[in-house]
Amino acid sequence: MIALERLKVGTKILGSSLLTVAMLGALLVLTIVSLRTLSGVSTTLVAVRVPDLESVFTMERNITDVSRAIHALSNARFDLDYRALLASDAEAALVRIAQEEKGYAARSHTEAAAKEWDAFAAELQEWRVAVAKVMKLERARDELLAQGSAPTDLKVEMAQQRILNALLLHRDAYDAAMGHASRIRASCAALAHEDGLRAGATARRTTAVLIATIAAVAAFLLAVSIYLGRSVGRNVRALLQQTGRLTAAVEAGTLNVRGETGAVTYEFRPIIQGFNATMEAFQTPIRLTADYVARLGRGDVPPRIAEEYQGDFNLIKNSLNGCIDAVNGLVADADALARSAIAGRLSTRADAARHRRTPRVRWHEACVLCLRSCCPGGSSWSAPWSSRSPSPSSAGS
C-alpha cells in the first residue's frame, strides 16, 4: 500500500490501463479459443454428422425402394411398360445409393466409425449382388414372355421359381444391410447429439466467461476510478488546508509556520515544499530587515548586507545598506570634527553635501553643539541655515 501511495497519479492511471488491456487481452484469447472450439464442433456437426445422417437415411430409403421394385417386378401379370418403369426406378435408386456411399466414405470419421462403415459396405455389396441376380432373372423371364411364351409355360414357371428363390436370398441380404444401416444411423445421431451438447456447453461456458470477465473489468475500472477520485480529492483538501494555514500565518505575521508535507501523498508533497520554500524566502529577508532596524534603533550600526537578493528584496537590501552608509558617514564626520575641535583645529569642516537633507540639518546642529561646548566664545555660534544667521558656507568662513 505504501508503494502504491508513492506512485504518481499518471503512473497509477497508466498501470490501471495496462492491467485493463491485459485483462481484455486474456478475454480475447479465451474468446478466440472458445470460438475455435465451438467452430470445430459446429463444423463437425454441419460437415460430417448431419451429412452422414442424411446419407444413411437416403441409402435406407433407396434400398427399400429397390427392394420394393424388384418384388413388384417378380409379378409377371404387370404389363411390360410398368415393369420397365419399375426397372428404371430401381436402377436410379441404385445410382443414388452409390453416390451417397461415396459421399459418406469421403468424409472424415473416427477409426471405430470407419470400421463400422466398412462392415456395412460389405453387407451392402452382398445386397447389391442379390438385387442384380433377381433383376437378371426377371429380365430373363421377361424375354421369355416377350418371345410369346405364356405365363403358364414350364420355362416361364421355372424362371419365376428361380426369381422367388433369389428374392428369398435377397431378403436375408436386405435385412442384414438395413440392420447395419440402422445401427450406423443411430451412431451418427448419437454423435450429432453429443456434438450438439458440446457446442451448447462451449457456448454457455464462453458466455459465462465473457460476462464474468466483463464484470471483473468493469468492477476493476470502477474501483480504480473511486480510488483515484478519493485520493486526488483527499490530496486537494489537504492542500487547501495547508495553504489556508500558511495564509493565516502570513496574515498573523508568524512567518515561521510551515506546511506539513506528510498531509499529502508523495506526488503532491513538492507543492507544499514549494509553499514552505516561499515562506522561507520571505522570512529570511524580513527577519534580517527587522534585526537591522532594531540594531540601528539601539545605536548599533550593523555591517552592510552582502547576501544576494532578487527583485523587491534587493531594493530593501539596498535601502538598508544606504541607511547604514549614511549613519556610518555621520558618525565618522562627527568623530573627525570632535577630534579636530579638541586639537584646536577649529577651521576643520565636514562635507555636508554628501549627507542627505534631513541628516544634513541634524549634522549642522551637532556641529554647532560641539563648537558651543568645546570652543571659547562658542556660545555665540548659531545654526548657519536659520533665517537669522548666515548660510553654512558663510558660517564656515
Looking at residue 59, what is its pLDDT?
Answer: 95
From 385, 326, 328, 373, select the one nearest 346 (Cα to Cα).
373
Return d(Cα 15, Cα 331) in angstroms, integer.
Answer: 71
Q: Does the pLDDT value for residue 152 go beyond 50?
A: yes
Q: Does the pLDDT value for residue 156 go beyond 60?
A: yes
Looking at residue 365, what is its pLDDT?
Answer: 54
How far the first Cα of the chain sits from its last, in Å, is: 88
Return d(Cα 183, Cα 333) in angstroms, integer.
Answer: 135
User: For the chain, which residues make up each domain, given as ranges?
Assistant: 2-228, 281-396
Q: Does the pLDDT value for residue 114 go beyond 70?
A: yes
Half-sphere exposure of 41 (CA within 13 A, CB side): 18
Return d(Cα 235, Cα 76) in angstroms, integer.
Answer: 107
Looking at residue 395, what is its pLDDT?
Answer: 38
Supply the pTM of this predicted model: 0.53
Domain 2-228 falls in which CATH fold? A middle domain of Talin 1 (1.20.1420)
From 308, 397, 295, select the one nearest 346 (Cα to Cα).
397
**What sign does the dihedral 185-191-192-194 (CA atoms) show?**
positive
pLDDT band per the 50, 70, 90 thresholds, residue 389: very low
For 54-102, how does the pLDDT look when each residue is reduced to its tens digit (9 = 90+)?
Answer: 999 999 999 999 999 999 998 888 887 888 899 999 999 999 999 999 9
For 157-178, how does the pLDDT look when each residue is reduced to its tens digit (9 = 90+)?
Answer: 899 999 999 999 999 999 999 9
Q: What is the mean pLDDT of residues 225-235?
A: 85
Looking at residue 364, what is its pLDDT?
Answer: 53
Q: Does the pLDDT value for residue 119 go beyond 90?
A: yes
